[in-house]
A and B are shown apart, each in its own frame.
Chain A
Amino acid sequence: MNEQVAESEGVQLDAAVGSVEQACQALREAFPGKVRPDEREGYEGVIVDADALVSAALLLRDELGFRYLSSVTGVDYANDGLLESVYHAYGAESGALVFKVQVDRGNPEVPSLVSVWPSANFQERESYDMYGIRYAGHPNLQRILTWEGFAGHPMRKDWREPYYEEDHKPFKTRHPDGGVFRAEDRTPFGRNVQYPPGFDPEKWEDTAQSSVYEGLMREVKEGGLQTECITINVGPQHPSTHGVLRVVVVLDGEEVVDLMPVLGYLHRNHEKIGERCTFPQIIPYTDRLDYVCSMSNGLGYVLAVEKLVGVQPPERAEYIRVIMAELTRIVNHLMAIGFLWNDVGAYFTPVIYAFNERELILDLFEMVSGSRMMCNYMRVGGVFEDLPTGWMEKAQALVFDRLPRFVDEFHRLLTENEIWRSRSMGVGILPAEQAVAMGATGPLLRASGVPYDIRRVEPYSIYDRFDFDVVVRHNADVYDRFLVRMEEMRQSLRILRQAMSQIPAGPVQTGKKNWTIKAPAGEVYHRIEAPKGELGFYLVSDGGSNPWRYHVRSTSMINLTPLAEMCRGHKVADVVVILGSIDITLGEVDR
C-alpha cells in the first residue's frame, strides 16, 4: 500500500498570495472605507460592510487564494445592539483570515456567500436559525437545527430557555449550598416547554414537515418516457447505523434526482449550554459532540482555551494528548469502515471485528479516565491525571503488536473483496475542486486528491515532531475514502510508536487544577485534524469566566454539504453507502 501514499503529488489548494496581513491590506485597498481592521482588544481580521461582502469574498477567493471557507457563524453583541456574522477563510498554507459583517440587531441582513463558497450553505442556515441573521440570496434559507415554526432564535442573548435560571453557572440555587430540585416543578407544564403569549394549540398549523420539501429539484426531462418523480424519506429512524439523520430523496425510478439532508434530530443545545458554563465545565460536553472521538474533541477545545488564556501544557501532557488523539483516530476509522460495510450489506461482520479492537482501546481510555466513552480527560493546561501504572505496557502491546497485525488482517479481509469493489469503485465521486469549495475536510477531502491535513499545514500540539505521511488518494470515490482510512490507521500507529518511545517523565498539568478560569477579552479560533476532518472551536470571551460565544465548527455537518452532489445520478441504494463513506456522527452534526 505504501506506494499509494504520495505526499508531493495531488491537487494543491492554490498557495495564498502572501500572508494574512497582506491579504487584509489588499482588501482594505480594494474597498476603501468599506473594509476596516477589527480594532477591538483581542480581536483580529477585518470588518467588512455588508454591501461589499460578496465582492470582497470574490477577491479573496480568486485573487488572494483563500479558496477554502472553513467556518461561518453568528455572534450576538447584545450590549452594542449588533449581530455579527463571522467568517474564517484559509489558503493552502496560510493561517485563518477572519472577516466579519456587523448588522443591526433589529434588522439583521447579510448577503449570502453560498454563491462564492458553497460550504457556507448549512452554516448560514444554522446562523439564521440560531440568531435570525437573514442571508440574502441564500438558495434555501430555512431553519436547520430547530424546525420551521419554532419561536425565536435561541442563541440570542435575550432568548431564554424554559428551564432558565441564570446566565452563568454555577447557579446560586445549587452552589455553594448544594440545593436540589426538579426543574419540571418550576414550569406550569411540568415539562421543558414554553409558549408565546396567546398561543392556541388547537389552531396550530403544522408546517414543520411540509416546508422541508421546498427547494428540492425535480427534473423536467426532454423527450423519452415521461415518468413521475417520487419523494421518499430515509430516516430519521433507519437501519443504517448513522443515527437520526433524515435524508429526503427525490427519485426517478431508482435514480436519485435530488437529495437533501434534514438535520436537527439530535440538536442538544451544545452551544447555548456552553455559554452558560465556565470554561472547564464545557469539557465533558465536548465528549458528547462526536461521541466516537471524545478524546480528540476535548483536545480541540482545550487547545482553543489555551490559546485564549495563553497557557502551555507540560511536555508529558503533550505526548499523552497525542497518544490519546491518535488512539481515537484508530477507533473512529475502525467504526467508520465497519459501518460502511454494514451499508453495503455485510451486515455486522466487519463491525464485530472492529468492535473487538475498539474494546481494547476503550479499556485503555477507561484506565486513564474512568469512563469508556465519555472520557472528560483533557484539561486546560494538561490532562486530568497521569497514566496509571501498567497502562503503558498494555498500550504498547496493542500499538506495537496487536493493532498492526489487526490492520493487516482487516485489509486482507476487506480490500480485495469483489462485491465491495463493485459497490464502491466509481461511486460517489467528489472532484477536488468541488470538495474544497464545499468545505469537505478529513479523509473525504484527502480521498479527492487534496493533501490537506491540519497536523501538517498548521501543526498544533507537538505534531511537528513526528514522522508521518499525509495519506492521499486520487479517485475521489467511496473505495478511495475507505483506503485512506485504512492507511491513516497505519500512520496513526506510526505516530503512536514514536510518541510512546519518546514520552518524557514529568508533571501533566501546568499550574493547579481549577474548575473556573478567567480568560482575557478577545476571540480565538482553533482547529484540529479530528478523525473526521477539521474540528474548529470559536470562542469569544468578554473577560469573564465563561465564554460569551462558544461555537463548534462541526466537521460532520459541513461534510454533509456535498452529499447531494455525490449522490445525484446514482441508485437509491448507493445513497446510504455514500453517506457511510463521509463518516458522520449525529451528535456533532446537530450538536
Chain B
Amino acid sequence: MTEELTHPNIPVPEDLKGTVTLATWEKFYNWCRARSVWPMFFGLACCAFEMIAMATSRFDFARFGMEVMRASPRQADLMIVAGTVTKKMAPQVVRLYNQMAEPRYVVSMGACANGGGPFKEGYSVVSGIDKLIPVDVYVPGCPPTPQALIHGFVTLHKMIENTKYKDMKWYHNRGQGEEFAIPVLGPDLFDPRQNPLIQSEAAKTSVATNDSE
C-alpha cells in the first residue's frame, strides 16, 4: 500500500520501507478521497437492481470503501444514475444533484442513463442524463453487470486519484458547487437554458402536427 503512494523521486530509507511513505499532500489527499466515496442511495429503474446486487455479498462493494450508502444527497459524494431518467423524474434528479456538496461525482449506469437506451424513442424519456448534469463515468449495458459497474467505480477512483489541485474548483471556493438549471414540466419538459431557442422555434408555428386537446 505504501508503495502505491510513494513518490518516485523521493527515496525512503531501506529500513523504513513498508512503514513510512513519502508522498505529496495532493496525492495522499486524493488517495484518501478515492477510497471513501459514499454513493447516494438512489435508484431509478431496472439498473438499480444490479446496483443492489453489486452491494450484496457476491460482489460486495465494501471492498472499495463504498458501502456507506446515503439516502440524503447532502451526505453523498457520488450519484449513481441507475436507470431510465424520465421527463417527470428529471427535475428531481437535477435538484438532488444540486443538493450534493462538492466534490461530487456522477456515474451514469446503463444504456438509459447514458443516452435513453431502449426507451429513447419514447416520448417521455430524457435522452441521457448528461443533457442535464455533468457525468464523470459512463457504464454501458442494459443492465450493466455488477462487474461492469465495479469497473466503472475503479475508473472513477483512478480519475479522483489523478485530479490536480488547480483543477479542483470546489477546493478553492469551499465546496460551493455550481447550480444546474432545473428543468420544468411544461407541455413537454423544458430546460430554462433553452428558453430563447424554444421561443424562436415556437414562433415558426407551422411545424407542429399534434392535436392540441
List residues of chain A with CB under 8 Å of any chain B CB.
Answer: 132, 145-147, 149-154, 156, 158-163, 165, 183-184, 188-202, 204, 206, 208, 236-239, 241, 243-244, 264-270, 272-273, 276, 284-285, 288, 291-292, 348, 351-352, 355-356, 358-359, 372-374, 586-587, 590
Contact = CB atoms under 8 A, between A and B. Distances in A.
Interface centre among B184, B209, B211, B212 (most CB of A within 10 A): B211
A265 B91 CA distance: 11
A574 B211 CA distance: 44
B1 interface: no
Given A149-B185, A192-B125, A356 B118 contact: no
B190 A292 contact: no
Interface string B24-57: 0000000000000000011111101110110011
A324 to B, nearest CB: 18
A374 B205 CA distance: 42
B212 A196 contact: yes
Given A193-B190, A206-B184, A272-B122, 16 more contacts: A153-B213, A154-B124, A161-B122, A191-B194, A192-B120, A194-B208, A201-B198, A201-B199, A204-B186, A236-B89, A237-B96, A244-B43, A267-B86, A267-B124, A291-B49, A587-B45
B187 A374 contact: no
B119 interface: yes
A196 B57 contact: no
Given A291-B49, A373-B143, A276 B121 contact: yes
Contacts of A352: 56-57
Interface centre among B46, B116, B194, B206 (most CB of A within 10 A): B46
B125 A189 contact: no
Nearest to A240: B71
A351 B121 CA distance: 35
B211 A152 contact: yes
A193 B189 contact: yes
B146 to A, nearest CB: 9
Interface of B: 41-46, 48-50, 52-53, 56-58, 71, 83-84, 86, 88-89, 92, 96, 116, 118-127, 131, 142-143, 145, 184-192, 194-195, 197-199, 201-203, 205-213
12 contacts: A153-B211, A159-B211, A161-B123, A163-B120, A191-B131, A191-B191, A193-B189, A196-B210, A201-B186, A265-B86, A265-B89, A291-B46
Contacts, number: 207
A591 B196 CA distance: 33
Contacts of B208: 194-197
B94 to A, nearest CB: 12
A240 to B, nearest CB: 9
Given A266-B89, A273-B121, A202 B56 contact: no
B195 A202 contact: yes
Given A152-B211, A192-B116, A195-B202, A268 B187 contact: no
B185 A208 contact: yes
A172 B203 CA distance: 31
B37 to A, nearest CB: 19
B212 to A, nearest CB: 6
A154 B88 CA distance: 15
Contact of A132 (B41, B53, B120, B213): B213
Contacts of B211: 152-153, 156, 158-159
A352 B53 CA distance: 9
B210 A239 contact: no
A233 B123 CA distance: 26
Given A183-B127, A237-B92, A359-B58, A586 B45 contact: yes
What are the 3 closest A-B residue pairs judged by CB atoms, nearest first?
A269-B122, A239-B71, A151-B187
B118 A373 contact: no
Nearest to B142: A374
A295 to B, nearest CB: 14
B121 A374 contact: no
